[in-house]
Structure 1
Amino acid sequence: MPYPLYPFVKPYLMTRGLQPENQETPIQFIKTDTIDYQLFYRRNHFAYPGLSYSNYWLPINGLVKTAKCFSLQDILRLPSKTLKVVLECAGNKRSLFEPKVFGEQWEKGAISQGYWKGVPLRTLLELAGMKEGAKEVVVEGYDYGRRTDLDTVHTYARSLPIYKAIHPDTIIAYEYNNRPIPFKHGYPLRLIVPQWYAMASVKWIKQISVIDSDFTGPFQSVDYVYYPHKENDEGAFPVTTIKVNSTIQKPLNMEVLNTGKHIIEGIAWTGKGNITKVEVSTNGGKTWTEAKVSQQNKEGYAWSAWKFEWSVAAKGEYTLMAKATNSYNQEQPATPFWNRKGYGYNAIEKIKVKIE
């Protein structure tokens, strides 16, 4: 009896680092708009934390009228909402920068999405009552470790300005795709900040503090900052909103194809507005034609899938390109905004194929 061809073939995460664990989604093989947690990319700065789930409490403290301490059961009883949200690592596509920059050499798979269910952070802040003069809300995780650049131990903590913290869709999530958030993705509670790069979506929440000043933790003031110059910090500014971007999932880069009809397909996303147009070039950018965007996402929280039918008769090498535009008329640039830590790469998508 002959063996079946490629039995049980399925994609796997692609490893970028083991200590700490950093793995990317095989985005070119994903054909659905929600990612199973097993294929959701993993971004860690430190080892996974050790937690005692039987006695889990979430404190809300700082510049509040009444300090609160919520049990997980308390949070589960509060009014919730479910949102489809794309999370993209700020370093996604870092390996494409020229000149090269240091850091995890992510290709195109430090991005995933699915349905997150939780309680608006605003609800918890209202229950505690923010005092006048509140400026930022600091969310601290249980993950911690030593930073080699500072030679000091830090927990992972980030702050949000008040306007973003009280946005109705900034949530403290406890479910992903209708199941409890998996441990490696932040169980039991994870902050989800739609429209911003995923460094803001703190995992394994330890406590939430309201402050009246600018938070200066290293993951706010050293990392996740755009530094336009290699040798100095002039013109530095924080990483926040996801830039308009796209990825070609099919065909694969450097794939060999036959003449005839082919479907070029992929995803496009934006942190500001929604995707209004995706254009494709099959001749290295000489001419552009609109692709069919099959999933219009009016909220701007999830990616939009797109397809383009390409008929090719001549053999040779071809450069295929994709360019997304959002509702604020922002489009992918021909060249990325270079910065020395390699954040926010969103240049026009480009791959090469050979027709035989």
Structure 2
Amino acid sequence: MKKFHQPGVKPYLITKSLNPENQETPIQFINNNIVDGNLFYRRNHFSYPHFTSSFYFLPIHGFVHTPRTFSLQEIYSLPSRTIKVVLECSGDKRDFFEPKAFGEQWEKGAISQGIWKGVSLRTLLQYTGVIDAAKELVFEGYDYGERPDSDQMVNFSRSLPIEKALEPDTIIAYEYNNQPIPFKHGFPLRLIVPGWYAMASVKWIKSITVIDKEFKGPYQTVDYVYYPNKEDDSGKFPVTTINVNSTIQYPLNRQLLTTGLYHIKGIAWTGKGSIDKVEISLDDGHTWETCQLTSTSEKYSWVSWNYQWEVLKKGEYTIKSKATDSHANVQPSKPFWNRKGYGYNAVDHIKVKVE
């Protein structure tokens, strides 16, 4: 069986920008279902925040019966919840849209996965209570800066509808892979919203405010919104649940190969349910065969898949992968184009040449 990478050589993050820092996971070289913190993709709107975590407190106020401020020690002492979650930037694969969409030109690596531990948000809310009129919870991060479309300084803030906030697996996390969350990924506390694109999982939580109306912050109503039309805002709707998707990890696009037996490898994931099936095409989508799922298909996490390909004939090949989830969602042949380039999930494809 021929390999597509050289053992013993370590991968690095793929830099997209440095200020703010945006770097991709080298997803083609991730060989297990847990991504080390140093290879977890980095997505920022602003420079990293400055605060002293030893004096860190989390206030919850607004439409609650009893406003309360929690210390880290109090949060650590509460019953914990541990979940394996894939976090995918909603702009993942933006570079592949046609026509092109403006924004960070992510390729396939704005996605990572690991094990998060924290306390269910609903557990914290049991201490404050929630007034019946409450509709949303607003999460404000410590990261702030100036938006390109405004001369005002703003914090990164997002809201969740009360129903999503109260789901048991919506957690305030303090550990990643059995270690404190790395600072660049939200230490000391990060919201984790399984099944939704990662803009919802606010880092460096500064405060939680319960409100009785829709939150109108720019990262809720301007960004992270699907705009189907290029010229106007008609038909817009919010970015929420992760679309069913797959990525071919090996071989690499435009790789030169020789004849022989190859181990084609990849991952597949979805925001609702789990992955039921991954198919592969070796002839540009004319015929499809079922891949072997090599890891357990779990809620919130990706599944690894592979296919043994014996190639005897020289020439150029277009390899495609297509995932189906337990809700019968299937990757489309073409993505849903939108002006800001969110939610790309078209059938993945690469080209290789056998010499």
TM-score under structure 2 length normalisation: 0.97
> Separation in 2 of the partners of 1:21 and 1:323?
31
Alignment-derived partner of residue 84 in structure 1: 84
Q: What SS does structure 1 have at the residue aligned with 2:279?
A: strand
Offset at 1:53? Answer: 1.2
Q: Which consecutive residues of structure 1, in runs of 5 or more, have no partner in the other structure?
A: 1-5
Alignment-derived partner of residue 151 in structure 1: 151
On the 8 A contact 2:170/2:194 being kept in 1, the answer is yes
> Separation in 1 of the partners of 2:82 and 2:297?
15
Alignment-derived partner of residue 293 in structure 1: 293
Deviation per CA, 1:159-180: give whole Å up to 9, x if none.
0001100000000000000000
Alignment-derived partner of residue 301 in structure 2: 302
On the 8 A contact 1:279/1:324 being kept in 2, the answer is yes
Are 1:319 and 2:324 counterparts? no
> Separation in 2 of the partners of 1:284 and 1:7?
30
TM-score under structure 1 length normalisation: 0.97
> Separation in 1 of the partners of 2:172 and 2:195?
15
Alignment-derived partner of residue 332 in structure 1: 331
Alignment-derived partner of residue 3 in structure 1: none
Q: Which amino acid aligns with 1:233?
A: D
Q: Which amino acid aligns with 1:331?
A: V
Q: What SS does structure 2 have at the residue aligned with 1:85?
A: strand
> Separation in 1 of the partners of 2:310 and 2:351?
16
Alignment-derived partner of residue 17 in structure 1: 17
Once the two structures are superposed, the pairs formed by residues 129-168 of structure 1 within 5 Å of their partners are 129-168=129-168
Alignment-derived partner of residue 96 in structure 1: 96
Q: Which consecutive residues of structure 2, in runs of 5 or more, have no partner in the other structure?
A: 1-5
Deviation per CA, 1:306-341: give whole Å up to 9, x if none.
001111111000000000000011100000000010
Q: Which amino acid aligns with 2:55?
A: N
Deviation per CA, 1:98-125: give whole Å up to 9, x if none.
0011100000000001000000011111
Q: Which amino acid aligns with 2:81?
A: K
On the 8 A contact 1:275/1:296 being kept in 2, the answer is no
Q: What SS does structure 1 have at the residue aligned with 2:175?
A: strand
Q: What SS does structure 1 have at the residue aligned with 2:219?
A: helix
Identity of aligned residues (%): 65
> Separation in 2 of the partners of 1:270 and 1:327?
9
> Separation in 2 of the partners of 1:355 and 1:298?
36
Q: What SS does structure 1 have at the residue aligned with 2:256?
A: strand
Number of residue pairs matched? Answer: 350
Deviation per CA, 1:173-195: give whole Å up to 9, x if none.
00000000010000000000000
Q: Which amino acid aligns with 1:351?
A: I
Q: Which amino acid aligns with 1:194?
A: P
Q: What is the root-mean-square deviation of aligned Cα atoms in Å?
A: 0.9
On the 8 A contact 1:251/1:265 being kept in 2, the answer is yes
> Separation in 1 of the partners of 2:298 and 2:42?
27
Alignment-derived partner of residue 120 in structure 1: 120
Q: Which amino acid aligns with 1:245?
A: N
> Separation in 2 of the partners of 1:290 and 1:151?
52
> Separation in 2 of the partners of 1:216 and 1:126?
26
Offset at 1:8? Answer: 5.5
